Amino acid sequence: MVCLGNSTVAERFAHIANRHPCFSGEANAAYGRIHLPVSPVCNIQCRFCKRTFNKTERRPGVSAELVKPPDAVNLVRKALELCPDITVVGIAGPGDTLATSHALETFSLIHREFPRLTNCLSTNGLLLERYAEAAADTGVKTVTVTVNAVDPVILDRICSRVILDGVRYHGIEGAGILIEAQKRGIKKAADLGFLIKINMVLIPEINGEHIPDIARTVADLGAGILNIIPLIPQHEFADHSEVDCIELSRVRERAEKYLPVFRHCQHCRADACGIPGKGDLSALLYGNREFEQTFSHG
């Protein structure tokens, strides 16, 4: 049984966490997931984020193509034929899942066709409070929120802009809007009974000493597990050094005072498929289909 910070959450959702490869080390080696790249835009811009379409890179924010919600059902059906051990349908990009209606529309279709599968939503949290109830109605049971700082001064160095209801916010103002929205969204999702994982991108010289503060804050809001992801140097942060294993281990140990830390992250693409670490099947799903290469940060 996976041990989560909140015992009530652990008891209620252990059966989900133990079959979710992104929430449990044991499940990571035994169960599969398919990520559906249906979300075309993002409503924030992180300085390390480089969204793109290709078949070669192995990292978040990348997919071979953009999938339309009605096509997702057939993709899941084909994925289950290739890997019957798939238990989770996730949407993690390439944009933010709640910046458009595409993800929730897709989850609704998947839940109707494959009710036994766990629907998992990943988001930056800007609109989580607004759409948490709608997500629950589409069969979503697990939510991952990326929280890279709970101090606007620190987040301003990581996130360059936030777009909310058509208005662009920059600097500390934008960072503060995002942080407060994330807090409200995590609390709302926890109150609705979601199992919540928090992703944090570790940038040692910016938020390395701040990670325990993030962990304590999200634990108080109802999150159940943490995933601390070492920075992939790219985009505006291309000149940053890669995080070494000693630093990553040190930060994880400090965060683990507040919540358990997931240590098996594979830096999955937005169209990943299969059992993590045992080969990706996405090339067999997409083949030579024509790409719809449209992506925007609003």
The reported pTM is 0.87
Which tokens sit at 34?
């398919």
Rounded mean pLDDT of 153-160? 98
> Average pLDDT in the 267-279 region?
74
pLDDT tens per residue across span 51-83: 765 566 665 666 667 899 999 999 999 999 998
Q: How confident is the model at residue 4 (pLDDT cuts 50, 70, 90)?
A: very low
193-210 average pLDDT score: 95
Q: Are 281 and 269 in contact (CB under 8 A)?
A: no
Q: 236 or 19: whose pLDDT is higher?
A: 236
Rounded to an integer, the average pLDDT of 261-265 is 76
User: How much of the chain, in percent, has pLDDT values that exceed 90?
Assistant: 64
Report d(CA 124, CA 140) in Å as an integer: 16
Q: What pLDDT was estimated at residue 57?
A: 64
According to the model, what pLDDT value does residue 286 have?
76
Q: Is the peptide bond before 94 cis (omega within 30 degrees of 0)?
A: yes
Give the model's pLDDT for residue 203: 96
What is residue 2's predicted lDDT score, i.e. its pLDDT?
Answer: 38
Domain ranges for the chain: 7-286
CA-CA distances (angstroms) from residue 297 to 57, 62, 166, 199, 293?
Answer: 20, 14, 12, 20, 14
d(CA 17, CA 215): 19
Instruction: Tell me what the mean pLDDT of segment 243-251 comes to.
Output: 93
pLDDT tens-digit readout, 216-233 = 999 999 999 999 999 988
pLDDT of residue 27: 47
pLDDT tens digit string along 107-144? 999 999 999 999 999 999 999 999 999 999 999 999 99
Q: What's 7-286's CATH class?
A: alpha beta
